[in-house]
């Protein structure tokens, strides 16, 4: 049974990140640790009592396509009604449209609980939230007034409609046409891989569609963004007739079976009515607002499923009696959690999940500071830091989630390969997270090609300097965690060395940099995670004699394990970045 990690979440928000200081920002003046605790406790109850019981049935029964529309898995409609009644869709949205403007770091923390309990369910509200955010920033006053109140309340859902069969990730090859007609357009085309593109949870679905207006130039500069509602909205806000949008089919997938992944046809008859968002030709720019929001959310989904896999594996290991651990009396069996390698696997799951959580919430906090700090310099630095870390969160945390879920199957042994234990579902469900919103390779190319190249590494240099300075101070002051801090500092040095090598490659032969971009992204994740776990351990050291000494002692121990068994990967990855590119670039494709 899933239990939301409330104490762990409170530690990260209150003690590691000290998110309560956001109340000094006028935008978040009403935020406090007490408010966050209240929200998290309610979110935990909803995740544990409503969403988690639907996870297994949703996987086995799944969503179902019919000619009249997609029917969601049993129980999902009732759960969504309770979700809306609880006000959860409004969390983090503008109060002008009925939202609850809490910091993004709290929204991310709550989202972890949804993702752990039921990833398939969580994906729908996550996409609606991203669509709301994009429309808030780029839509006209009229479009905001027409669509946002219902979307913020959760009465209508939202989607992100990008992909076409012939284009894949190359959005410059999008062919969906938008024909101007008065104050609107008519769209014609077909889109694939549209998550929650059709369903029976809400009365309307607001599609955010990339399309090419007639006469627009080729490539990404010719793409615009359009609102295309499933059901047309009358001038008075009431629902009118059905738009010319139809779900042709839903995909049969490896996992997340309760989340309908749709093929959508626009304009099979007279054309789907759509409304231009912002300026023509800036569609991809606007869509990236939604995509970057989704990338941070998907990163959290990776470790959220990992958290659930860890909980199930730990429970299994505590109750599965098999074999005699070293040092035990002859003839006596014990739970497998006493076997050294099972301990190692569980610590690998636990430490990487905690590192991923800390990094994701740290990144979300940067965007809160960028949006709310009264200091212009802090806003600029935090925005640069958040943008730098977003592809790392998305890429590394989802790769970690896949590794953790796979280890969870291994902990169960042969029973992990049997669907009835539940371990396999987490591995199947989390697999999509490394692909959503751009594969790990795409995230890595974004990291080196945009985030490093645009400022010649200034944001990364500032980040490396800050990590090293903090770790140097911690290692000198905290005797108990000195080794953990020194290991984290060695990781920072390896990352700095690799960053210099990558910078030289980018300036001379970019293909060499691209050949090692994924190892570089992973290196960034491991090192940043190590920095945050070392800080966590230092914050815990003085509290190991108090009432919660076990909790704090466990965190110090987990950080020490990460330092000794995970962080050494940093040195190996740095060597790959420094000298491994030629073995890729110089390989003839015929030899593969």
Token representation of residue 112:
């972890």
121, with CB counted inside 10 A (0-12, 13-18, 19+), is: buried
Q: CA–CA separation, 453 vs 451, rounded Å? A: 6
DSSP labels, 362-411: HHHHHHHHHHH-S-HHHHHHHHHHHHHHHHHHHHHHHHHHHHHHHHHHHH
For the beta carbon of residue 389, count every other beta carbon within 10 angstroms: 28
- Domains defined along the chain, listed by start: 6-153 (1.10.540.10), 158-281 (2.40.110.20), 440-586 (1.20.120)
Q: What is the spatial distance between Cα 297 and Cα 315, in angstroms, rounded to a whole number?
A: 27
Q: What is the pLDDT of residue 332?
A: 78
Phi–psi pair at 63, nearest 5 degrees:
-80, 155
Q: Classify the phi-psi angles of 562: left when phi > 0, otherwise alpha if psi is within -120 to 50, otherwise beta.
A: alpha
Helix (H) or strand (E) holding 45: helix 33-46
Taking the model in full, what pTM does it have? 0.97
Phi/psi of residue 165, nearest 5 degrees = -55, -40
Give DSSP secondary structure letters for 545-568: TSTTHHHHHHHHHHHHHIIIIITH
Looking at the DSSP bridge assignments, the partners of residue 71 are: 64
What does the chain come to in residues?
592
Q: Which of 112, 437, 470, 478 is catalytic?
A: 437
Strand partners, 64: 71
Pairwise CA distance, residues 429 & 424, whole Å = 9
Would residue 164 show up in a list of annotated catalytic residues for this protein?
A: no
How many other CB atoms are there within 10 angstroms of residue 75's CB atom? 17
| Predicted pLDDT of residue 234 | 95
What per-residue string of b and e applies to 127-165 under the rule 16 or more CB within 10 Å gives b?
A: bbbbbbbbbbebbeeebbebbbbbbbbbebbbbbbbbbe
How far from the centroid of its chain's Cα atoms is residue 270's Cα? Answer: 38
Which runs of E-coded beta strand occur in 439-534?
Answer: none
Question: ∠417-419-421 over CA atoms, to 5°?
Answer: 85
The tokens for 429 are 């469900």
Rounded Cα gap, residues 378 and 369, in angstroms: 7
What pLDDT is stored for residue 545 in this prediction?
A: 82
- Measured CA to CA, the distance from residue 368 to residue 418 in angstroms comes to 43
| pLDDT on residue 288 | 85
Residue 169 has a pLDDT of 83
Across the chain, which has 592 residues, the per-10-residue mean pLDDT values are 97 98 96 98 98 98 97 98 98 94 97 98 96 93 97 98 91 92 97 98 98 92 96 96 98 98 98 97 90 93 98 97 82 89 98 98 98 97 97 98 98 97 98 96 96 93 97 79 93 98 95 98 98 96 86 96 98 97 94 90
Take residue 369 and report the two structure tokens written for it.
């500071």
């Amino acid at each position: 049974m899933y239990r939301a990690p409330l104490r762990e979440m409170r530690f990260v928000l209150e003690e590691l990140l000290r998110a309560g200081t956001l109340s000094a920002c006028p935008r978040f003046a009403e935020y406090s640790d007490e408010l966050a605790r209240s929200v998290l406790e309610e979110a935990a109850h909803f995740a544990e009592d409503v969403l988690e019981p639907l996870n297994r049935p949703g996987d086995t029964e799944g969503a179902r396509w019919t000619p009249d529309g997609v029917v969601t898995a049993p129980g999902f409609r009732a759960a969504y009604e309770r979700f809306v009644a609880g006000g959860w869709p409004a969390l983090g949205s503008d109060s002008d449209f009925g939202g609850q403007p809490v910091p993004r770091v709290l929204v991310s923390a709550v989202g972890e609980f949804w993702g752990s309990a039921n990833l398939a369910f969580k994906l729908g509200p996550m996409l609606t939230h991203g669509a709301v955010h994009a429309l808030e920033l780029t839509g006209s006053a009229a479009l905001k007034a027409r669509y946002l109140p219902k979307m913020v309340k959760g009465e209508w859902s939202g989607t992100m409609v990008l992909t076409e069969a012939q284009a894949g990730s190359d959005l410059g090859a999008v062919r969906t046409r938008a024909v101007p007609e008065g104050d609107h357009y008519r769209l014609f085309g077909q889109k694939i891989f549209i998550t929650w593109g059709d369903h029976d949870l809400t009365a309307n679905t607001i599609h955010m569609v990339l399309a090419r207006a007639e006469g627009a130039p080729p490539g990404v500069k010719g793409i615009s963004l359009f609102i295309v509602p499933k059901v047309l909205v009358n001038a008075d806000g009431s629902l009118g007739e059905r738009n010319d949008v139809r779900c042709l089919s839903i995909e049969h997938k490896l996992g997340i079976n309760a989340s309908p992944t749709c093929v959508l046809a626009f304009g099979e008859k007279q054309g789907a009515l759509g409304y231009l968002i912002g300026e023509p030709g800036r569609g991809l720019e606007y869509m990236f607002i939604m995509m970057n929001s989704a990338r941070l959310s998907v990163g959290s989904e990776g470790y959220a499923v990992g958290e659930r896999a860890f909980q199930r594996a730990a429970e299994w290991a505590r109750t599965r009696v098999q074999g005699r651990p070293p040092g035990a009396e002859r003839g006596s069996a014990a739970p497998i959690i006493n076997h050294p390698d099972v301990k190692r696997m569980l610590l690998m799951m636990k430490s990487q999940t905690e590192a991923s959580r800390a990094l994701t919430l740290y990144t979300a906090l940067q965007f809160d500071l960028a949006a709310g700090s009264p200091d212009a310099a802090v806003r600029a630095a935090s925005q640069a830091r958040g943008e730098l870390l977003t592809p790392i969160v998305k890429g590394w945390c989802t790769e970690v989630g896949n590794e953790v879920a796979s280890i969870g199957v291994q902990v169960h042994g042969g029973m992990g390969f049997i669907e009835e234990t539940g371990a396999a579902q987490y591995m199947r469900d989390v697999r999509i997270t490394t692909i959503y919103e751009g594969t790990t390779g795409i995230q890595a190319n974004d990291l080196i090609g945009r985030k490093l190249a645009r400022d010649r590494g200034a944001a990364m240099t500032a980040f490396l300097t800050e990590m090293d300075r903090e770790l140097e101070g911690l290692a000198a002051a905290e005797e108990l965690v000195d080794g953990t801090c020194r290991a984290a500092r060695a990781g920072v040095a390896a990352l700095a060395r690799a960053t210099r090598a990558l910078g030289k490659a980018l300036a001379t032969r970019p293909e060499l940099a691209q050949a090692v971009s994924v190892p570089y992204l992973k290196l960034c994740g491991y090192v940043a995670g190590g920095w945050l776990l070392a800080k966590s351990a230092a914050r815990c050291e003085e509290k190991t004699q108090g009432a919660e000494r076990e909790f704090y002692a466990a965190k110090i121990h987990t950080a020490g394990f990460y330092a000794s068994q995970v962080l050494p990967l940093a040195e190996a990855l740095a060597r790959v970045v420094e000298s491994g590119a030629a073995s890729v670039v110089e390989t003839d494709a015929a030899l593969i």
